[in-house]
Amino acid sequence: MLLTFERVKELAKKQGLSLNALEEKLGYSKNSLYSLKKQNVSIDRLEEIANFFQVSLDYLKGRTDNPKIASNEVTGYTTEDLRRMAENAKTFDGKPLTDEDVDAITNIIEIYLKGRN
């Protein structure tokens, strides 16, 4: 849990907040965030903190270094948008793509774009 405490401390600092000010904003009692150092904290409390900073729980818990929250939307496009684009494409010799080709292209584009974030 020490990593969680350090991440919360770092996120608060980036927003110009002391831990006491953060506790006030979240409605927590004074010095309650220090419990992140040693105790297992409820998932509800961790979700409140993650939501406040708009980071993923995995980031807060140290499971990833990527603070972004997973989403079905990729850089402004939904999976359905990507699928429509793939359906409008032609193969190199001008023949229409099969449904399997469209599915594969859609998946490849999604994976590529998600990896860039």
Three-state SS string over 23-86 comes to HHHHCCCCCHHHHHHCCCCCHHHHHHHHHHHCCCHHHHCCCCCCCCCCCCCECCECHHHHHHHH
Identify the pLDDT of residue 71: 55
Q: How far apart are CA 93 and CA 28, in angstroms?
A: 64
Which amino acid belongs to residue 29? S
What crossing angle do the helices spanning 19-26 and 2-14 adopt, rounded to 10°? 90
Tens-place pLDDT, residues 26-44: 999 998 998 888 877 888 8
- Highest mean predicted confidence (pLDDT) among 70-79, 82-91, 93-102: 93-102
The runs of H, that is alpha helices, within 15-78 are 19-26, 43-53, 57-60
